[in-house]
């Protein structure tokens, strides 16, 4: 086997996209990008990078023929706007992207809990809420729009930190406190919270778009037991392959942070389930060699200024980032031995610290913060 130097590959991650910009509780963290902004991103990228699908990148990395200045584009969560808004834009640009779908949501009308939470906060008649958490009280005020938005950030941070066992009762309790007897009674946020159906997935796959797994039920893998993770990996893979009649070879972690959402152990489970690679959402930078298995993309959306978007994709910035964070660098090619253990420990500590305090108003979640943190 010939050896080659690891190559820098940029990973970009989007969620939904909206015809016009959407703000506030309808688009917390600005995660849904407007059509105009997405077009601008793709135009800029096309002029500077070879845009390949993840499958093509892995192939070429294995053969040692990866071109310089390569990037991939991923969309998470299977929002229907992937079909209605992003797909036509990608087709027009002549680009292919990877779409990661939580299969239980496809064609089922199921909603993501974060969208239910945001809709509840937008529509609640309550003006304030004091939630008791252990010996502390979380005080939330809904008198202003910004108060409601802060509550959305705070409650996300809190609920995402719970174990699977504690999550469901705590979520139902929160929705109850906001004024609904059942999550199904909470009004819908809008058209952009709907997911695709299988017909739309097949049409996109037929047109060259790639589909990968984002678990079945959009579960945070690192907080599940082994059996559940194995099931999620297997069921979603099979459903996608049965529907599109093509291999589902890439797995993408919900929530996407490392090691809170996925880690070495869940990576191994993914490998055993037959995936060729796993995708996190930590930074835009991948250094890929022939053994590439773990990939990452940066979470982009309406929130990012164009100036920062361009900055994120600068090789110079990558060098600075790598130099500053070299002890916390889990992404280099082979990633073996003592270095990797040090990396895991370092990141673990960083994330545990983040989780150990309930977030301050206005703070961004890990995974949405890679650019803000170090600029
Ligand atoms: Zn997701």
Q: What are the pLDDT digits (tens) for 203-233? A: 999 999 999 999 999 999 988 889 999 999 9
- Spacing, Cα 28 to ligand 1 middle (Å): 14
Domain ranges of the chain: 7-110+194-373, 118-185
Task: From first to last of the 375 residues of the chain, give the pLDDT tens digit.
Answer: 445 678 889 999 999 999 999 999 999 989 999 999 999 999 999 999 999 999 999 999 999 999 989 999 999 999 999 999 999 999 999 999 999 999 999 999 999 999 999 999 999 999 999 987 777 788 999 999 999 999 999 899 888 878 778 899 999 999 999 999 999 999 999 889 999 999 999 999 999 999 999 999 999 998 888 999 999 999 999 999 999 999 999 999 999 988 888 988 999 999 999 999 999 998 888 888 888 899 999 999 999 999 989 988 988 888 777 776 553 344 443 343 333 333 333 343 343 333 333 323 333 333 333 333 333
- Spacing, Cα 101 to ligand 1 middle (Å): 8
What local confidence, expressed as pLDDT, does residue 259 receive? 81
- Spacing, Cα 31 to ligand 1 middle (Å): 11
What local confidence, expressed as pLDDT, does residue 325 receive? 57
269-308: burial string, b at 16+ Cβ within 10 Å, e else: bbeebebbbbbbbbbbbbbbbbebbbbbbbbbbbbbeeee
Q: Which alpha helices (DSSP H) does the chain contain, by range?
A: 35-48, 54-63, 81, 87-93, 113-123, 145-160, 164-177, 198-206, 226-244, 264-272, 306-312, 315-324, 337-356, 370-373
Q: What is the CATH number of domain 7-110+194-373?
A: 3.20.20.370
- Spacing, Cα 214 to ligand 1 middle (Å): 7
- Spacing, Cα 52 to ligand 1 middle (Å): 21
- Spacing, Cα 215 to ligand 1 middle (Å): 9
- Spacing, Cα 218 to ligand 1 middle (Å): 6
- Spacing, Cα 63 to ligand 1 middle (Å): 31
- Spacing, Cα 77 to ligand 1 middle (Å): 5
- Spacing, Cα 268 to ligand 1 middle (Å): 20
- Spacing, Cα 81 to ligand 1 middle (Å): 14
DSSP string, 261-286: T--HHHHHHHHHTT-SEEEE-S-SEE
- Spacing, Cα 337 to ligand 1 middle (Å): 30
Q: How many CB atoms lie within 10 A of CB 246?
A: 13
> For residue range 161-175, what is the model confidence (pLDDT) as tens digits?
787 788 999 999 999
- Spacing, Cα 58 to ligand 1 middle (Å): 22
- Spacing, Cα 176 to ligand 1 middle (Å): 25
């Amino acid at each position: 086997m010939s050896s080659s130097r690891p190559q820098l590959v940029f990973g970009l991650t989007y969620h939904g996209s909206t015809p016009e910009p959407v703000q506030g509780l309808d688009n917390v963290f600005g995660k849904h990008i407007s059509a105009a902004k997405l077009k601008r991103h793709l135009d800029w990228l096309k002029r500077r990078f070879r845009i390949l699908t993840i499958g093509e990148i892995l192939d070429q990395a294995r053969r040692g023929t990866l071109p310089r200045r390569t990037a991939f584009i991923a969309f998470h969560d299977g929002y229907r706007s992937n079909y209605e808004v992003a797909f036509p834009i990608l087709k027009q640009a002549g680009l292919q992207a990877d779409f990661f779908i939580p299969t239980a949501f496809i064609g089922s009308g199921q909603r993501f809990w974060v969208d239910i939470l945001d809709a509840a906060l937008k529509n609640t008649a309550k003006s304030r809420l004091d939630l008791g958490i252990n010996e502390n009280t979380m005080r939330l005020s809904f008198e202003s729009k910004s108060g409601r938005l802060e509550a959305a950030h705070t409650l996300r941070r809190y609920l995402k930190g719970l174990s699977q066992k504690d999550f469901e009762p705590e979520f139902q309790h929160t929705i109850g406190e906001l004024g609904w007897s059942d999550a199904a009674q909470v009004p819908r946020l809008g058209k952009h919270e709907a997911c695709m159906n299988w017909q739309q997935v097949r049409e996109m796959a037929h047109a060259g778009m790639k589909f990968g797994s984002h678990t079945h039920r959009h579960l945070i893998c690192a907080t599940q037991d082994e059996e559940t993770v194995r099931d999620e990996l297997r069921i979603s893979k099979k459903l996608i392959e049965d529907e599109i009649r093509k291999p589902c070879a890439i797995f993408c972690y919900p929530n996407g942070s490392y090691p809170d959402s996925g880690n070495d152990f869940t990576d191994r489970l993914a490998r055993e389930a037959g995936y060729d690679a796993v995708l996190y959402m930590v930074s835009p930078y991948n250094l890929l060699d022939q053994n590439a298995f773990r990939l990452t993309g940066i979470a982009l959306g309406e929130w990012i200024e164009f100036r920062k978007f361009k900055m994120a994709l600068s090789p110079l910035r990558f060098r600075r980032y790598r130099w500053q964070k070299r002890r916390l660098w889990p992404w280099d090619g082979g990633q073996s031995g003592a270095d990797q253990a040090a990396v895991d420990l370092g990141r673990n500590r960083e994330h545990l610290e983040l989780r150990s305090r309930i977030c301050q108003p206005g703070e961004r979640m890990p995974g949405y913060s890679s650019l803000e943190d170090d600029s």
